[in-house]
């Protein structure tokens, strides 16, 4: 998503530095409000992470059901991110490079999945795949099912994660001056060659960021997935089940592991991305 | 080498109208004009990066109007260098080589010669990020020339450079042109630059080509008031011919030699005007009387605005002339110039 | 959210125009992939919206349970957006104006709610409000409950919506040159006065965008709300209930009304924002 | 009026070191220096927008070093105008008035006088967006002066303007200073601008004040090689005094009158050098012999680089001198200058 994408990908404008001039009650007032907000975000998470005992945590991670759901979450989110990369990149590139009538509309369409209430997403995908729609019939005859299948989970996750990848990739492509591609073409490179030899190497950070954000959004989805596929269980669904069946105390360890899995995954990707030569 | 016929590019906010240009093999041609005149659009049309609305472009005898840019074999160098920041200088230079068919590949000596002439040996393996402007522009020239383009287009190649690198690159361009026998089309807004480098000059204004000709001719005999202003004739007056005299700004003077037909403008360079406190001008000089309205010091000279009854003249005086004359704002002065300095068109 | 914020708030860089040069198979290939992606987003939604009959739709909107849930959704999302505006603005302003050690960390903390799986958010907030935590005790003694209360719903929605508001506001404040505030202060205005007379009027579009995005995210939340408060029922929860109890066909009309309510709300806000004098 | 004592601002990437400045009531002082020299930091320290690391600032006898900017009553005008884009020109001008205590409020005639002098009548109710650069800068001056600041700080007020507006605003500044008796501190990188407007000039380089003095003195007797280069003495050589002669660049010449002590640099303006093909210089002239390495035409003059055995001289010739002398690159020429033109320091 662009918020965190802005934090991670874009070079910030030159710092002004904290220069506290006299007469800055306003500054301290702002600081006070800011601390409240940060505590509001941090305290619940810290509390939740520190509440379960280590024994509980260890017992939970040995639970094959938990492990399976974590693995399924990661696997489907990865697939969704890959699909977004594959299908979203061309659209992001077109939007970054061309002006056309209806461009605003296309951009709004891309942002739709962000705005739509999550269960509605699930219901919408199921509506399409229903047997009384021609597409549903085609899919059924190919043996593809959405309801209660891994395919369905991936479809939902792709749906909700796409805007995050496309917007990040678009910002990345917009950051590469058209001039570079023009020079490449004047040197004999075709459009595809210019794209892969110049544009992609200069925007890979944004692309990677987009993939990470897309995967993050996909892994965190619950409302749409629970409609489309309660089983096989992804981790948030499992957590929800434990919460409703056994209460808060039994769902907390799963939540902790899910958070750790997400954080670990993103740290790993960050590290993989770091040592690449020549940061633009 | 390049033949542009009736090239028009019409965009909602900009129009380039019926440009025709012919550039010979081995020529150094400069397209001159103020910002926004459409110079870069002409270059990019030739390179195939802009789709012309109408007109045709032939390069080396081949009609390239509808050809993709990568098939035209035309090099382009931008004022911001546009070096690929993720590649070293050498990788930048070799970027285009893989698209050249093996049979046409330039001999290794071509690349070596370029690298030598452009003095890139020391920086071949550095990334562009930390190079100086001059080094970047030299690398960018090498990259464009590495694939042996039929024509090299230069888009304000000196504009973004520090003054010290500007001299260096200007010199390099001159050397390149003399030693490698390449055809060069440069776009610039700086008349001195064009005059120093180019053999012929075209002046573009508002998407229209106002004048084309040898550099000296454009400088001495501008064809339109716009070109006259652009080449430094700050004093431009409406005027007319009466038999063998020229009338303008309330003055009447003998015709300068070159005038043919019925001109309707008279122009005069500010540095051709002499100011004196007494009316002690010798015979052929034309004089009039006026008041110094403003004196603005600027570098080595002072710019004086003198109001005579009918017109306002702009004169440039050296610092020495200023000190010796002791001119002040508000002084009454006599203003004189030789009729030969007038240009009527 | 920044994606749509980028589309709506920021002036785009000068258009390049579609200039189709010869030899653009690459362009058509991109276009093909782009159309697939757009259909993937649009088709399910269109299908869902067109499937229920008008009679069904009318019957649904007369159902008081549906109306109550829609109203609750809108009301709580509005409250969350208002709280974000109140508490998020100071933090956004600090981040836009000052550089300090740990700034990246603070920015990551703000983005945490985007990354965290939705049910985990609910579980985390409940962890804090539990009776065995001092804060939980304080809240209980004040008569504030999170579990199953409107307060809880608003808390959850604020939690998930905050990053969207803060990131948009921060971008807005960053877009106002510090120079303007400096000039204001040299003319005698104190820091607060400079903020309200110069900074806010110059960034109100971003602030409004942030509020809209925050409300959109809040209204669409399901996973976290369903943990904290199944009752009172917000619209997505009601839809989920109808889906599990009666199936797809009975949940679709509610989904359509929910989407229409969201879209209507945002259009309204846009219109309200439009006629303000002097767009910066 | 302004007394800055030992002002230092130390940032990781920049240092301003021990600046001391004294500006009198009603003075027009210019702080001159290249980009990045720290000129704006000095201004912003005085205005209270930057926190000094050490040193003190007194304005009108009051120590303001730790005072909030809104309590200092110091106006500031930036090169980018910084007009509030959401307010009309009049609202911009009246912005600060509500913070002035009712007893101190300027008479309405003050505002009217400003609006008249700055010719803002016609644009009072327009938004800044569509104003020309000159109009914007005039509005920005009116806004700063509306609250009757004790001092007005100008940060490169002419730099962002088109040449035609630059003359106009320069004139306006001079008028403002003459008619309203305000104290002005201007920062600029343009020596001619400073010389035209300011009574005294301070030259800043790399965060250090190199020289302070009347404009003419800085121009004629720069104190350091940096200042010499900045005021247009392109030829700077290490040199030394031997009894009553000055030795530099392999030449020995009579001392120019002003020299005291033991200077170690000799500087010469390029326009004080005369080039000839014959060694026909009259008695006091110092001459040497060399080769023209490069001729670069630039506007009204040509810049020639002449290599004599030990040194490289830069000379500026008018176009006329160029044509009459018929100089070419590679020519052997004699170079001469009057010893009085030398400046040793």
Nearest to C259 by CA among C23, C114, C83, C47: C47
Nearest residue on chain B to A199, alpha-carbon basis: B84
In this complex, which chains have at least 3 CB pairs below 8 Å with chain A?
A: B, C, D
CA C214 to chain B, closest CA, distance in angstroms equals: 38
What pLDDT shows up at residue A9? 30
| Number of inter-chain CB pairs under 8 A, C vs D | 65
Residues of C whose CB is below 8 A from A37? 87-88, 90-91, 162, 166
Angle between helices C235-246 and C64-97 (to 10 degrees): 130
| Eight-state DSSP code of residue C10 | S
Distance CA B189, CA B321 (A): 30
- Flag whether pLDDT at B79 surpasses 60: yes
The CATH topology of domain D234-344 is OB fold (Dihydrolipoamide Acetyltransferase, E2P) (2.40.50)
Residue-wise pLDDT tens digits, D235-286: 888 888 887 788 888 888 887 766 667 788 888 888 888 888 888 887 778 8
Residues of C in contact with B48 (CB under 8 A): 21
C residues 140..199 contacting A (CB < 8 A): 158-159, 162-164, 166-167, 171, 174, 178, 190-192, 195
User: Which residues have C-beta within 8 Å of that of residue B113, sequence separation ≥ 6?
Assistant: none
pLDDT of C5 reads 34
Task: Check CB contact under 8 Å for A3 and C36.
Answer: no
When pLDDT is cut at 50, 70 and 90, the band that residue A269 belongs to is low
Determine, for residues B66 and C23 on separate chains, whether the beta-carbon distance falls below 8 Å: no
Q: Pick from C124, C130, C192: which is nearest to A45 by CB?
A: C124
Contacts with C126 from chain A: Cβ below 8 Å: 248
Whether residue A7 has pLDDT greater than 80: no
* Percent above pLDDT 70 for chain C: 86
Residue A119 at interface with chain C, using a CB cutoff of 8 Å: yes
CB contacts, 8 Å: D95 with chain C = 184, 187, 189, 197
- Measure the CA–CA gap between B3 and B20, rounded to whole angstroms: 8
- Compute chain D's Rg from CA coordinates: 24
Query: pLDDT at position C212, please?
Result: 87
- Chain centroid to CA D320: 30
Q: Is D70 on the interface with A (CB under 8 A)?
A: yes
Q: How far is D277 from chain C (nearest CA, A)?
A: 56
pLDDT confidence of residue B126: 93
Whether B129 and chain C come into contact, CB under 8 Å, resolves to no
pLDDT in tens, C192-247: 999 999 999 999 888 988 898 899 889 989 999 999 999 899 999 999 999 989 88
Instruction: Say if D11 is an interface residue toward chain A (CB within 8 Å).
Output: yes
Residue D3 region, left (φ>0) first, then alpha (ψ -120 to 50), else beta? Answer: beta
- The three-state secondary structure class of D266 is strand
Confidence of residue C13 (pLDDT cuts 50, 70, 90): very low
Per-residue H/E/C for B139-163: HHHHHHHHCCCCEEEEECCCCCCCH
- Residue C151 sits at the vertex; the CA angle it makes with C149 and C152, to the nearest 5 degrees, is 65
Please list every residue in chain C whose beta carbon sits closer than 8 Å to the beta carbon of residue B50.
19
d(CA C118, CA A251): 13
Please report the residues numbered 207 through 236 in chain C whose beta carbons come closer than 8 angstroms to any beta carbon of chain A. Answer: 216-217, 219-223, 226-227, 235-236
Chain A: residue whose CA lies nearest to D72: A22
pLDDT score of C278 more than 50: no
Indicate the pLDDT class of residue C258, thresholds 50, 70 and 90.
Answer: confident
User: How far is Cα A144 from Cα B62, in angstroms, rounded to an integer?
Assistant: 55
- Minimum Cα–Cα distance from A183: chain B residue: B76
Tell me, what's the pLDDT at C197? 95
A47-53: list long-range contacts, CB under 8 Å, 24+ apart: A47/C124, A47/C127, A47/C128, A47/C133, A48/A252, A48/A255, A48/A256, A48/C120, A48/C123, A48/C124, A48/C127, A48/C128, A49/A256, A49/A259, A51/A252, A51/C127, A52/A249, A52/A252, A52/A253, A52/A256
- Which C residues 25-84 touch D at CB under 8 Å? none
For B88, residues 6+ apart whose C-beta sits below 8 A from its C-beta are B124, B125, B126, B127
Question: In this model, does residue B49 exceed pLDDT 80?
Answer: yes
For residue A20, name the pLDDT band (cuts at 50, 70, 90): low
Distance, in Å, from the CA atom of D293 to the CA atom of B156, rounded to the nearest integer, reads 25
Residues of B contacting chain D (CB within 8 angstroms): 167, 170-171, 192, 195-196, 232, 271, 294, 296-301, 316, 318-320
Query: How many residues belong to chain A?
Result: 280
Spatial distance between the Cα atoms of D44 and D31, rounded to a whole number of angstroms: 13
* Nearest beta carbon to residue D127 from set C189, C202, C278: C278
Question: Is A201 in CB contact (< 8 Å) with chain B?
Answer: yes
- For chain A, how are helix, strand and coil distributed in percent, rounded to 5? 80, 0, 20
Q: Which residues contact B44 (CB under 8 A, 6 or more apart)?
A: A182, B50, B76
C223/C242 Cα distance (integer angstroms): 16
pLDDT, position D92: 95
Q: What is the mean predicted confidence (pLDDT) over B77-89? A: 92
Strand, helix or coil at B275? Answer: strand
Using CA atoms, how far apart are residues A3 and A12, in angstroms rounded to an integer?
Answer: 13
Mean pLDDT (whole number) for C26-30: 87
Q: What is the pLDDT of residue B103?
A: 87
Q: Whole-number mean pLDDT of chain A?
A: 83
CA A50 to mean position of chain CA atoms: 26
Instruction: Give the pLDDT of residue C2.
Output: 35
- In chain A, the residue whose alpha carbon lies closest to the alpha carbon of D66 is A22
pLDDT digits (tens, 9 = 90+) for A108-122: 888 888 878 889 999
How many angstroms separate the CA of residue B109 from the nearest CA in chain D? Answer: 30
CB spacing of D296 vs B195 below 8 angstroms: no
DSSP string, D74-143: EEEE-TT----TTS-HHHHHHGGGGGS-GGGPPPHHHHHHHHHHTT-GGGTTS-GGGS-HHHHHHHHHHH
Residue of D nearest to C202 (CA): D86
* Cβ-Cβ contacts under 8 Å for A169 (sequence gap 6 or more): A88, A89, A92, A93, A96, A203, A206, A207, A210
C-alpha distance from B52 to closest chain D C-alpha (Å): 32
Cβ within 8 Å, pair C179-D78: yes
- Nearest chain B residue to A279 by CA distance is B86
> Which residues on A lie below 8 Å from C216 (Cβ)?
114-115
Chain D: residue whose CA lies nearest to C199: D84
Q: What is residue D238's predicted lDDT score, i.e. its pLDDT?
A: 87
Tell me if C21 and B69 make a contact (CB, 8 A cut-off). Answer: yes
CA–CA dist D116, A225 (Å, integer): 70
Give the minimum alpha-carbon distance from B338 to chain D in angstroms, rounded to a whole number: 14
CB contact (8 A) between residue C21 and residue B48: yes
Task: Compute the distance between CA of residue B335 and CA of residue B165 in angstroms, rounded to an integer.
Answer: 40
Closest CA of chain C from A29, distance in Å: 8
CA distance, residue A143 to nearest chain C CA (Å): 19
B50 CB within 8 Å of a chain C CB: yes
Q: At what angle do helices A64-97 and A150-174 cross, to 10 degrees?
A: 40
Nearest CB among D192, D297, D300 relative to B271 is that of: D300
Left, alpha or beta for A56 (phi > 0: left; psi -120 to 50: alpha)?
Answer: alpha
Distances in Å between the alpha carbon of B104 and those of A18, B64, B151, B177, B306? 60, 20, 16, 22, 63
Residue A15: the pLDDT is 37
C188 and D86: CB-CB below 8 Å? Answer: no
Q: Residue C7: what pLDDT?
A: 32
CATH number for D2-220: choose from 3.40.50.170, 2.60.120.620, 3.40.50.300, 3.30.1330.10: 3.40.50.300
Question: What pLDDT, on a 0 to 100 scale, did the predictor assign at position C270?
Answer: 63
Q: Residues 54..83 of C with a Cβ closer than 8 Å to A: which?
A: none
Backbone angles phi, psi at B245, to 5 degrees: -125, 160
Mean pLDDT calculated for residue range C45-49: 87
Interface test with A, best of C220, C225, C242, C269 (most A CBs within 10 A): C220
Please tell me the distance from the alpha carbon of residue C275 to that of residue C273, in angstroms, as a whole number: 6
D59 in contact with C at a CB cutoff of 8 Å? Answer: no
Closest CA to C224 of A147, A49, A122, A226: A226
| Residue ranges of chain C that CATH labels 1.10.3720.10 | 56-273
Q: Taking CB atoms and an 8 Å limit, are B82 and A183 in contact across chains?
A: yes
* The pLDDT of residue B183 is above 60: yes
pLDDT (tens digit per residue) in C109-124: 888 888 788 899 998 8
* Length of chain B counted residue by residue: 345
What are the residue ranges in chain D where pLDDT is below 50? Answer: none
Pick B86's closest partner by Cβ from A179, A186, A278: A278
* Domain chopping of chain D, boundaries: 2-220, 234-344
More confident residue, B165 or C93: C93
Nearest to C114 by CA among C162, C171, C80: C162
The fourth-level CATH superfamily of domain A56-273 is MetI-like (1.10.3720.10)
Nearest CA in chain A to B46: A186
Residues 6+ apart with CB under 8 A from D85: C202, C280, D127, D128, D129
Instruction: Compare all CA atoms of chain B with the CA of A177 and give the residue at the minimum distance.
Output: B82
> Which H/E stretch holds residue D246?
strand D245-248
* Residues from chain D contacting residue A17 (CB–CB below 8 Å): 11
């Amino acid at each position: 998503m662009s918020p965190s994408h802005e934090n991670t990908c874009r070079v910030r404008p030159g710092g002004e530095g904290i220069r506290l001039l006299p007469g800055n009650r306003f500054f301290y007032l702002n600081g006070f409000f800011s601390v409240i907000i940060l505590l509001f975000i941090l305290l619940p998470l810290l509390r939740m992470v520190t509440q379960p005992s280590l024994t509980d945590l260890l017992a939970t991670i040995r639970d094959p059901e938990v492990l399976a759901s974590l693995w399924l979450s990661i696997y489907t989110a990865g697939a969704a991110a890959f699909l977004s990369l594959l299908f979203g990149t061309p659209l992001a590139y077109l939007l970054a490079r061309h002006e056309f009538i209806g461009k605003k509309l296309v951009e709004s369409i891309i942002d739709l999945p962000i705005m739509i209430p999550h269960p509605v997403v699930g219901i919408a995908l199921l509506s399409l795949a229903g047997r009384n729609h021609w597409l549903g019939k085609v899919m059924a005859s190919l043996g593809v099912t959405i309801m209660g299948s891994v395919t369905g989970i991936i479809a939902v996750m792709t749906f909700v994660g796409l805007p995050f990848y496309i917007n990040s990739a678009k910002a990345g492509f917009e950051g590469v001056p058209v001039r570079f591609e023009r020079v490449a073409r004047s040197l004999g490179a075709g459009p595809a060659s210019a794209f892969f030899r110049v544009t992609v190497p200069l925007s890979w950070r944004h692309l990677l960021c987009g993939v990470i954000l897309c995967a993050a959004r996909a892994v965190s989805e619950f409302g749409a997935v629970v409609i489309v596929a309660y089983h096989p269980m992804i981790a948030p669904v499992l957590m929800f089940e434990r919460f409703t069946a056994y209460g808060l105390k039994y769902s907390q360890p799963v939540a902790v592991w899910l958070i750790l899995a997400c954080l670990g995954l993103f740290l790993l990707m960050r590290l993989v991305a770091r040592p690449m030569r020549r940061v633009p | 080498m390049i033949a542009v016929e009736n090239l028009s590019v019409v965009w909602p906010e900009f129009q380039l109208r019926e440009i025709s240009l012919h550039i010979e093999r081995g020529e150094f041609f400069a397209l001159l004009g103020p910002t926004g005149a459409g110079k870069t659009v002409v270059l990019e049309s030739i390179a195939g990066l802009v789709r012309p609305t109408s007109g045709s472009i032939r390069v080396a005898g081949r009609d390239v109007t509808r050809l993709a840019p990568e098939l035209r074999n035309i090099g382009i160098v931008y004022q911001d260098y546009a070096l690929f920041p993720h590649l070293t200088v050498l990788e930048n230079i070799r970027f285009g080589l893989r698209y050249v068919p093996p049979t046409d590949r330039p001999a290794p000596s071509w690349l070596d010669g370029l690298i030598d002439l452009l003095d890139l040996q020391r920086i071949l393996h550095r990334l562009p990020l930390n190079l100086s402007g001059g080094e970047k522009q030299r690398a960018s020239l090498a990259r464009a020339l590495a694939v042996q383009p039929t024509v090299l287009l230069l888009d304000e190649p000196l504009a973004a450079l520090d003054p010290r690198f500007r001299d260096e690159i200007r010199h390099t361009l001159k050397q390149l042109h003399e030693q490698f026998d390449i055809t060069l089309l440069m776009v610039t807004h700086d008349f001195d630059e064009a005059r120093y480098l180019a053999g012929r000059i075209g002046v573009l204004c508002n998407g229209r080509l106002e004048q084309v000709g040898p550099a000296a001719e454009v400088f001495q005999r501008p064809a339109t008031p716009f070109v006259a202003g652009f080449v430094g004739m700050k004093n431009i007056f409406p005027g007319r011919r009466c038999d063998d005299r020229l009338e303008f700004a309330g003055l009447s003077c003998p015709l300068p030699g070159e005038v043919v037909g019925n001109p309707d403008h008279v122009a005069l360079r500010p540095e051709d005007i002499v100011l004196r406190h007494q009316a002690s001008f010798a015979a052929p000089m034309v004089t009039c009387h006026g008041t110094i309205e403003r004196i603005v010091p600027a570098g080595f000279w002072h710019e004086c605005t003198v109001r005579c009854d009918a017109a306002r003249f702009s004169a440039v005086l050296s610092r020495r002339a200023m000190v010796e004359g002791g001119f002040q704002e508000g002084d009454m002065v006599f203003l004189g110039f030789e009729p030969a300095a007038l240009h009527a068109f």
